[in-house]
Amino acid sequence: MQVWKFGGTSVGKPERMHSIKNLITEDGNRKIVVLSALSGTTNALISIGESLKANNDAEATQKINELYAHYESFIKELYSTEAGYAEGKAIIEKEFSFIRSLVNIKLFSVKQEKEIVAEGELLSTQMFEAYLREEGVSAALLPALDFMLIDADNEPVLKFTEEKLGSILGQLTDKQIFITQGFICRNPRGEVDNLKRGGSDYTASLIGGAIVAEEVQIWTDIDGMHNNDPRIVKKTFPIRELTFEEAAELAYFGAKILHPSTITPAKMKGVPVRLKNTMEPAAYGTLIADKTSDREIKAIAAKDNLTAIYIHSTRMLNAYGFLRRVFEVFEKYKTPVDMITTSEVSVSVTIDNDEHLEEIMAELRQFADLEECDKDQTIVCIVGNFSADKEGIALKVLEAMKNIPIRMICYGASEHNITLLIHGKNKAAALNALNERCFLYEDAMKDIFSAP
């Protein structure tokens, strides 16, 4: 069995839903289809939640009406029969009456906030399943809230999914296609929760891991993982093969096409992940598995909005135990560190979540001297095969960056990552300069030297 996930852009228009129906039924194979909310819906629901939290009921109602109007016109084009349209209408009426019921709640809490954002995936999956039925495709709708669970640390409980989903599928042996919601889950209190923004990819790989699927396919609006951010750099190209490690680095350091946690369950269970384009299904896409190509520098990604903290030991030389004390502070505030560089007496780190920055700085000051921290920093991550015996890779990277100030450099932590920290305002220049030097120039040179 395979698991296919379609993102917001792939379900965001009625005609896209029509093409997805063809795609999932064409090969006649059994599959679990994970859907995200229609593009724009999760943002709209979050915004409704914000108005409700601010007790601005009139604003919330106006936003709800706008979203409802979008769904009303969507179903007019999705279904071709009266009966199909009536089913679609009943689905949106039911879900929007739940959304409207939250307007009157005076103490709008995190619990309701999570319930409201879950509506996006609940709507898209029910609407799509009703469409499949209208088209005579027999599919079963599997409620993700029955088998997706996170623990108190927000970590998915894979064992629970294995058991629950295994038993649900065991009772539906006559079905070929299963539709389920990405992103949403329950928490240990039994409440509706989610796997964070972009989490439908993660749902797909968790399901893939749980059933040890033959393959997980992530269908989106681009033909695979590109060698650089296509939103910022013009001449990018899809990468055919990536290892799990390379893909994980790229996703973690900003390649938006993939949720950063997606690789973990797939790698753990040895399930290959393929990135495919809904608009161009014949394109090869990217295969993420154990194999890799022999290109040295394979891709570049960037992660924004980081804060850099510069810490100096007050004890100066031979201060053993200093790093332990530094990292205990970050552990205490459950704040992950992205990048670290050290010298004899100093350590610099970057953090993504600065919710506890003040407390962290205050505790660090008890045993260290701190410089003013820098906000709006960007990590640029260069991924590839950089085994220790290879020469000249750092030179290419630094040559590309010759006109861009670099705040931190990290090389050697793994064999497939060079990381640079720069100011956010230089991100586009850095990505373009690296693309020119490490891909376009490199390939042009190869063509010249290998010409007959």
Ligand X SMILES: Nc1ncnc2c1ncn2[C@@H]1O[C@H](COP(=O)(O)OP(=O)(O)O)[C@@H](O)[C@H]1O
Return residues touching ligand X (CB under 6 A): 7-10, 36, 39, 198, 220-222, 225-226, 229-231, 255-257, 301
- Pick one of ligand PHD, ligand X, none as the site partner of residue 120 (Cβ within 5 to 8 A by kind): ligand PHD
- In this chain, which of 111, 175, 197, 446 binds ligand PHD, going by CB under 6 A? 197
Phi/psi for 381 (5° steps) reads -115, 125
- In this chain, which of 49, 156, 199, 384 binds ligand PHD, going by CB under 6 A? 199
Cα 268 from Cα 27, distance rounded (Å): 27
Name the residue among 329, 379, 327 with its Cα closest to residue 352.
379
- Pick one of ligand PHD, ligand X, none as the site partner of residue 40 (Cβ within 5 to 8 A by kind): none
- Pick one of ligand X, ligand PHD, none as the site partner of residue 375 (Cβ within 5 to 8 A by kind): none
Chain residue at closest Cβ approach to ligand PHD: 8
Q: Could you say whether residue 156 binds ligand PHD (CB under 6 A)?
A: no
- Pick one of ligand X, ligand PHD, none as the site partner of residue 197 (Cβ within 5 to 8 A by kind): ligand PHD
- Pick one of ligand X, ligand PHD, none as the site partner of residue 33 (Cβ within 5 to 8 A by kind): none
316: left (phi over 0), alpha (psi -120 to 50) or beta: left
Q: Which is nearer to ligand X, 297 or 347 (CB)?
A: 297
Q: 245: which strand partners? A: none
Q: Which is nearer to ligand X, 226 or 437 (CB)?
A: 226
Look up residue 250 and give its two tokens: 């790229």
Quote the DSSP letter at residue 379.
Answer: E
Cα 255 from Cα 278, distance rounded (Å): 18
3-state secondary structure of 282: coil
- In this chain, which of 49, 88, 198, 272 binds ligand PHD, going by CB under 6 A? 198
Question: What is the smallest separation between the CB atom of 274 and ligand PHD, expressed in angstroms?
Answer: 16
Q: Could you say whether residue 307 binds ligand PHD (CB under 6 A)?
A: no
- Pick one of ligand PHD, ligand X, none as the site partner of residue 221 (Cβ within 5 to 8 A by kind): ligand X
Question: What is the smallest separation between the CB atom of 71 and ligand PHD, expressed in angstroms?
Answer: 15
Cα 167 from Cα 198, distance rounded (Å): 27
Three-class SS of 102-128? HHHCCCCCHHHHHHHHHHHHHHHHHHH
3-state secondary structure of 163: helix
- Total residues in contact with ligand PHD, by rule CB under 6 A: 12
The size of the chain, in residues, is: 452
- Pick one of ligand X, ligand PHD, none as the site partner of residue 124 (Cβ within 5 to 8 A by kind): none
Cα 236 from Cα 284, distance rounded (Å): 16
Which residues from 21-60 bind ligand PHD, rule CB under 6 A?
Answer: 36-37, 42
Residue that the structure tokens 């991550």 belong to: 381
Q: Which is nearer to ligand X, 162 or 223 (CB)?
A: 223
Question: What is the smallest separation between the CB atom of 220 and ligand X, expressed in angstroms?
Answer: 3
The pairing of strands 273-277 and 215-220 is parallel
Asked whether the beta carbons of 381 and 253 are under 8 A apart, the reply is yes
Cα dist. 440→4, 173, 234, 256, 297 in Å? 33, 51, 11, 22, 12
Q: Could you say whether residue 265 binds ligand PHD (CB under 6 A)?
A: no
- Pick one of ligand PHD, ligand X, none as the site partner of residue 230 (Cβ within 5 to 8 A by kind): ligand X
Cα 322 from Cα 367, distance rounded (Å): 9
- Pick one of ligand X, ligand PHD, none as the site partner of residue 213 (Cβ within 5 to 8 A by kind): none
Asked whether the beta carbons of 229 and 236 are under 8 A apart, the reply is yes
Q: Which stretch binds ligand PHD (CB under 6 A): 196-204, 303-311, 368-376, 433-441?
A: 196-204
3-state secondary structure of 83: helix
Question: What is the smallest separation between the CB atom of 46 and ligand PHD, expressed in angstroms?
Answer: 9
Q: Could you say whether residue 182 binds ligand PHD (CB under 6 A)?
A: yes
Cα 78 from Cα 132, distance rounded (Å): 10
Q: Binding residues for ligand PHD, per CB under 6 A?
A: 7-8, 36-37, 42, 120, 182-183, 197-200
